Amino acid sequence: MKYSKKIGKQEWTTLNLNVVVFSNGDPINEIKTKEEWIIANKEGRPGWCFYNNDKENEQIYGRLYNWYAVTDERGICPKGWHIPSDNEWGELIESIGGYKKAGKLMKSNSLWQESCNLGNNQSEFNVFPSGYRNFYGDFFFLQQHAYFWSKTEHYNHLAWYHTMDFMTDEVLRYYNVKGNGFPCRCIRD
């Protein structure tokens, strides 16, 4: 699998981010317990975890990061890359065919809960159903949903993200609390 892919006018990483240090070498804290996850998010501290705190999930799904980690000024993406804005996500989705059908073209054809809406990965974006960790430290929707942060704030404690699920061919755009743990992708500067 290639590390990146040019789609439309953009170049994207084709795997979920899987780093434990910021670009300057400072560590990003791994947060395992529910209590620590809640405190870090209330204080706006960057953090990451594996889905269900299980390292076995790293290889396919990467790490789940809170929004404070993905937007930290020290940078989480490799040099020459950045976390995409909500608009950059929108441009990607439109270049693949629009919100109604891009999900099918972006999702991998394996690991998703069985349904009639499996992906074909025609775009080679390699979306796997990574699930997420909520603000309270609970894990949900492995093999059912994929979530991706944008760097765009919605309002105060909320930020925009994009998601795909096993039931539809769509890509959906929502906002949620910054304390959730979602995977992320990087886009070339």
Kindly report, residue by residue over 15-42, the tens digit of the pLDDT: 999 999 999 999 999 999 999 999 999 9
Tally of structural domains, the chain: 1
Helix (H) or strand (E) holding 105: helix 102-106
Q: How many Å apart are CA 90 and CA 157, to the nearest integer?
A: 22
pLDDT of residue 114: 76
Which whole number is the average pLDDT over 110-136? 88
pLDDT exceeds 70 at position 117: no
Q: How many Å apart are CA 86 and CA 115, to the nearest integer?
A: 28
> Rounded to two decimals, what is the model's pTM?
0.95
Q: How many residues does the chain have?
A: 189
Q: Bridge-partner residues for 158, per DSSP?
A: 155, 177
Which domain range does residue 60 map to? 4-188
pLDDT of residue 1: 54
